[in-house]
Amino acid sequence: MNYRFIFFAVSLMVACTANNDIDQSLLLDPVTVTEFEDNPEFSQFKLTCIDSGLLVTDYNSNRIHLLGYNDLDLIKSIGQEGRGPAEFKGIYLASESDGELFISDAGNQLVHVVDSAVLDYITSIPIQLSSTRFSVFNDYIYSSTPVSKFESTLMKVDLKSGSVTYFGERDIVSNRMRNMYHIVTNGENIYSVSYTEPIIKIYDLDGAVKMNYNLQDEDTRKGTIDFANRFYNQEGNESRVVVMNQDVFIDNDNLIIKTLNHEENAHSRNSKYNGYSVYRVNGLELSKVGNFRTNIGNRGISDTFCAKDGYLYSNGGQNRLNIYKFEIPSDF
């Protein structure tokens, strides 16, 4: 009897069973793809869905672009490198509130305020935010923030007085990114999604924790979590980061989380697909709606996305310089 063949066959069956939920989750193909490889103003960008269009914040070119939702056509651009009005030095993500854009500028340690409809510069606020998703609501900024070399926490910034209130855990870790969080709000609660751990925490708008959700047992995340656990336990990897929840966005009552699925010796850099989990928000309750994948072709590297009116927009592609538009099924 060929025991080696039997062992291989059993191993293959186990692997297929373990990955079945991921492989069988709904696969979405893009309805629109726009390439910006030949445009030097698009080089390393992140996406935010706002009322007036799809906002692109480009870290390298220090430019902000507004695209139309229908065809992803370019409407307007502003910005250049510098320290003056409408000048940036390493911009990350943005958040919209009451017709104004708040844009995180890492290099200048500022938050820029811009009219979201026409991209006219308004003012700047001396605040340093992390590179993760943040939110603005009712004259407050909610964000993860670094407080030391190996420590991050959450903060609430009063835009009128400038006062800062810190909340959330402040555990010391070997790498500060290990306790960074994406922060989104629906105006009722704050949803804090860990960057590297399978955790969602719900706070009220004053920063009091109300609920913790542990996603450790979700089948579609098991491969990523198991890989991360093995990775961290290897000597020399204690201070390194395995990104799990790469980006988060809240659209109406849907909390959508993009998870980077890892493999044993690589971070899925050649994968064509990006995985998303959808949760329905109802007060302090989060109910899992389902999972889907997006197909953006070979070397489907993608790190940011946003959702608006039933469509999901992501960056990606071999050079990360494409923008993809997907239609989210109505049952999500």
Per 3-state DSSP, what percentage of the chain is helix, strand, and coil (rounded to 5)?
A: 10, 45, 40
Nearest to 6 by CA among 239, 14, 262: 14
Domain boundaries, the chain: 21-327
Confidence at 300, pLDDT banded by 50, 70, 90: low
Let me know: does 301 contact 3? Beta carbons within 8 Å. no
- Compute the average pLDDT of residues 159-188: 84
Alpha-carbon distances of 216 from 196, 224, 244, rounded to whole Å: 12, 10, 12
The bridge status of strand 26-28 relative to strand 285-295 is: parallel
- Checking if the pLDDT of 3 tops 70, the result is no
Question: Would you call 163 helix, strand, or coil by DSSP?
Answer: coil
Q: Which residues of 159-181 are buried (b: 16+ CB within 10 A; e: fewer)?
A: beeeeeeebbeeeebebbbbbbb
Question: Would you call 130 helix, strand, or coil by DSSP?
Answer: coil
- Checking if the pLDDT of 148 tops 60, the result is yes
- Compute the average pLDDT of residues 148-168: 88
Question: What does the pLDDT look like over 262-274, one tens digit per residue?
Answer: 655 445 455 677 8
Question: What does the pLDDT look like over 206-250, one tens digit per residue?
Answer: 999 999 999 887 877 777 888 888 888 888 887 788 888 999 999
Q: What is the CATH number of domain 21-327?
A: 2.120.10.30
In the predicted model, what is the mean pLDDT of the chain? 85
Let me know: does 65 contact 41? Beta carbons within 8 Å. yes
- Checking if the pLDDT of 2 tops 70, the result is no
- Compute the average pLDDT of residues 165-170: 84
- Compute the average pLDDT of residues 107-131: 93
Q: What's the pLDDT at 222?
A: 79
- pTM here? 0.88
- Compute the average pLDDT of residues 187-207: 93
Let me know: does 190 contact 135? Beta carbons within 8 Å. yes
- Checking if the pLDDT of 60 tops 50, the result is yes
**Hey, what are 246's tokens?**
């790469």
Residue 22: how many CB atoms within 10 A of its CB?
A: 19
